[in-house]
Structure 1
Amino acid sequence: MSSEPVNVNDFKELARLALPKMYYDFYSGGAEDEHTLRENIQAFYRITIRPRVLVDVSKVDMSTTILGHHISAPILVAPTAAHKLAFHEGELATARAAAAVKTIMVLSYSSTCSIEEVASSCNSVRFFQLYIFKRRDISALLVQRAERCGYKAIILTVDTPRLGRREADIKNKMIAPPVKSLEGLISIDVKSDQGSKLETYANEMLDASLSWEDIGWLRSITTLPILIKGVLTHEDATKAVEAGVDGIIVSNHGARQLDFAPATVSVLEEVVHAVKGKIPVLLDGGVRRGTDVFKALALGAQAVLIGRPVIYGLAAKGEEGVRTVMEMLKNELETSMALSGCPSIKDITRSHVRTHYDNLPSML
């Protein structure tokens, strides 16, 4: 590129130039025909903003709290795997960048730095993402280590009874990256002559029998709040409340699991209505602009999580790149709030956006 990036999307091209094709495809790709991957972004385009004018926005306050933790803006770092494939310092650089912009990082279980290494990298609030393994003792040990290291919540990913069909990884014969926190616990030396070794590893290790009853098991081994990540329907949102979880992340796994699952923002309001304010609802998937953050908040999300853009920033410019990506989104959100007449997060309401569904009654 001939100039410095001016928005988050510019970092994607920088990352493509910086990374080996196998790694770029691993980060950027989705499942099968990648319909949901495109829709995660396109769905935001179909939501328009209804700005209010003549409101005093000389000061705009983007700060908010998530599970009682104060952050500078409702933009968190999503759990994404294997940051050392993007940059040699890996999750340590990402953690420092998140701390610098005063937000929460969710550390992936498949981090290439250990739970302990990330915890000691800087002083900040962090959550830990968990998968349930066939060997429950390993999942329990990861939870105990996260709790001991000061992580403040467990994010249980529930949409992966098996890995989605990621065809770029199959073509590239993607090798499972080393998972630092699992060293000495599970071997990732899987035998596979065809396709993605990452898929073979996941399908051999992850517990496809995971069910709602297992929320109680997880609750029994930790005092930390539990959020479940991967809810896309009002039925499952209702079950989540009944199961006693502390929050929901509306997510389709970055469109890497079930192709033709709905775009996350298109079902956000359905989930918000189902929980009736009893627990917080967050969203990830497709957020590329501050206006996207604004739209998600207007539809009832307490915050959004950013995945691929963080990786693109990391690949392009390391810690500085991650920090720049997060600051770009914060700056765009601040502008969106000012131009929409919202001096604080609590001023963003459902009346500030119009969706495709709002137009349906007038068409009948």
Structure 2
Amino acid sequence: MTSPSPTSSAPGPGAEAPLTVADVAELAARRLPADVLDFVNGGSGDESVQAANRAALDGVRLVPRVLVGTDEASTSGRLVRSAAGMPLAVAPMAYQRLLHPEGELASARAARAVDVPFVVSTLSSYSVEEIAAVGGTVWFQLYWLRDRDAVLDLVCRAEKAGCEALVVTVDVPLMGRRLRDVRNGFSLPPQVTAANLGPAPDTAAHRREDGRSAVATHTAQAFDPALSWEGLAWLRERTSLPLLVKGVLDPRDAVRAVDAGADGVIVSNHGGRQFAAAVPSVTALPRVVEAVGGRCAVLLDSGVRTGADVLRALALGADGALCGRPLLWGLAMDGEAGARHVLELLRDELRESLLLAGCPDLAAARRLEPVVV
């Protein structure tokens, strides 16, 4: 398996730019090696959760307002404690050098240009220090490692690098069985490493075996499946950063997270890559919003593909959303320019959706009436 070369396959001069995220996905599919495309697009089990995420979002319809007396709509606001040009953050995604040699550096520059938070993955292929040096708003996503001293070291590094929030992913006691990767015997090329976990390139993630995902083998060795509420409380005591808990679907867990000191919860089924029978994130969202009762921020993750999806999340009570795979497709299409194009598409679609729904700002969007059909 090889990662793509720097040569772009984006439309040349004079060609039409992709008009939708789906267009970007199609261009990325032409660009990427088949096993890398499977790694990005694949889900766990029969992958039905991915389809359910999309169907559930499409089933949320909004009742627009009229005669609001404005021809402008502002997408700007705050996401947790960070200023943002729109209520969207780039979701944490591992090993982005698989998509483009500049990987997370290119994605972070795109996020900076569009003024949205970029969430650095524990498994990023550039270090948190390198990514934070790009500038803009950076959050750090934490996987719970078997070595608790290593967990604390990552947190301290994130703080020192200037990250504005800490995102703890709680839905990976083990990696979901992703059959595309198993069938491909997927492994990382030598130049792609988990840069935050040390310099050694020769890890289990690089050792190919037929009928096994090397990435799953590596995470099983590195991650502690026994993370509990005690661990979350331990973490809360050791950082002053805003703490978000990612991977919450049950409102009871959302309440426990707030009680443990979380500043936000991210309603997520990991983009369909973990529990193969999980409820769609947007279906779980309203009950989580109701349960926390305004005591913390609530963000939606999984399946977001359009600006209208962000508007749907706001109308259902969320403070914003995270977007994942589309950024990777943009990165594969044209590096930083491709990732930026995706974010600009989402921002422009959100602004248009706000105007068409009769919303001059994000506060008005949260007053829209959602109807699930």
Deviation at 1:42, TM superposition (A): 1.2
Residue among 183, 197, 200 paired with 1:171: 183
Q: Which amino acid aligns with 1:97?
A: A
Q: Which amino acid aligns with 2:195?
A: K
1:20-63 residue CA offsets vs partner (Å, 9 max, x unmatched): 11111000110110010111111111111211111123221111
Q: Which amino acid aligns with 2:110?
A: A
Which residue number in structure 2 is paired with residue 88 of structure 1? 101
Q: Which amino acid aligns with 1:215?
A: L
CA contact (8 A) 2:244 2:263 kept: yes
Residue among 218, 222, 233 paired with 2:235: 218
Residue among 256, 260, 265 paired with 1:239: 256
Which residue number in structure 1 is paired with residue 49 of structure 2? 36
Deviation at 1:189, TM superposition (A): 3.2
Deviation at 1:184, TM superposition (A): 4.5
Is it true that 1:125 corresponds to 2:142 in the alignment? no
Q: Normalized against structure 1, the TM-score is what?
A: 0.94
- Report the Cα distance in structure 1 between the residues aligned to 2:37 and 2:237, rounded to whole angstroms: 39
Deviation at 1:3, TM superposition (A): 4.6
Is it true that 1:349 corresponds to 2:366 in the alignment? yes
Is it true that 1:183 corresponds to 2:198 in the alignment? yes
Residue among 4, 12, 26 paired with 2:39: 26
Alignment of 1:53-202 (within 5 A): 53-121=66-134, 123-176=135-188, 177-184=192-199, 188-189=203-204, 193=209, 194-202=211-219
Which residue number in structure 2 is paired with residue 292 of structure 1? 309
- Report the Cα distance in structure 2 between the residues aligned to 1:264 and 1:345, rounded to whole angstroms: 21
Which residue number in structure 1 is paired with residue 265 of structure 2? 248
Aligned-residue sequence identity (percent) comes to 42
CA contact (8 A) 2:66 2:357 kept: yes
Residue 320 of structure 1 aligns to a residue in which SS?
helix
CA contact (8 A) 2:187 2:208 kept: no
Q: Do the aligned partners of residues 162 and 242 (structure 1) sit closer, same or farther apart at CA in structure 2, a change above 3 Å counting?
A: same
Q: Which amino acid aligns with 1:181?
A: N
CA contact (8 A) 1:138 1:185 kept: no
1:168-199 residue CA offsets vs partner (Å, 9 max, x unmatched): 01011111451011114896236774410111
Which residue number in structure 2 is paired with residue 362 of structure 1? none
- Report the Cα distance in structure 1 between the residues aligned to 2:199 and 2:116, rounded to whole angstroms: 32
Deviation at 1:200, TM superposition (A): 1.0
Is it true that 1:325 corresponds to 2:337 in the alignment? no
CA contact (8 A) 1:192 1:200 kept: no
CA contact (8 A) 2:186 2:208 kept: no
Deviation at 1:116, TM superposition (A): 1.0
Across the aligned residues of Structure 1 and Structure 2, the Cα RMSD in angstroms comes to 1.6
Residue 112 of structure 1 aligns to a residue in which SS?
coil
- Report the Cα distance in structure 2 between the residues aligned to 1:4 and 1:94, rounded to whole angstroms: 18
Q: Do the aligned partners of residues 59 and 351 (structure 1) sit closer, same or farther apart at CA in structure 2, a change above 3 Å counting?
A: closer
- Report the Cα distance in structure 2 between the residues aligned to 1:183 and 1:32, rounded to whole angstroms: 31
Residue 125 of structure 2 aligns to a residue in which SS?
coil
- Report the Cα distance in structure 2 between the residues aligned to 1:4 and 1:62, rounded to whole angstroms: 23
Residue 147 of structure 1 aligns to a residue in which SS?
helix
- Report the Cα distance in structure 1 between the residues aligned to 2:167 and 2:145, rounded to whole angstroms: 15
Could you list the structure 1 runs, at least 4 aligned residues long, displaced by more than 2 angstroms after superposition: 1-4, 184-194, 349-352
- Report the Cα distance in structure 2 between the residues aligned to 1:251 and 1:65, rounded to whole angstroms: 20
Which is further off, 46-55 or 150-159? 46-55
- Report the Cα distance in structure 2 between the residues aligned to 1:45 and 1:160, rounded to whole angstroms: 27
- Report the Cα distance in structure 1 between the residues aligned to 2:295 and 2:200, rounded to whole angstroms: 37
Stretches of structure 1 lacking an aligned partner (at least 5 in a row): 357-364
Q: Normalized against structure 2, the TM-score is what?
A: 0.92
CA contact (8 A) 1:57 1:343 kept: yes
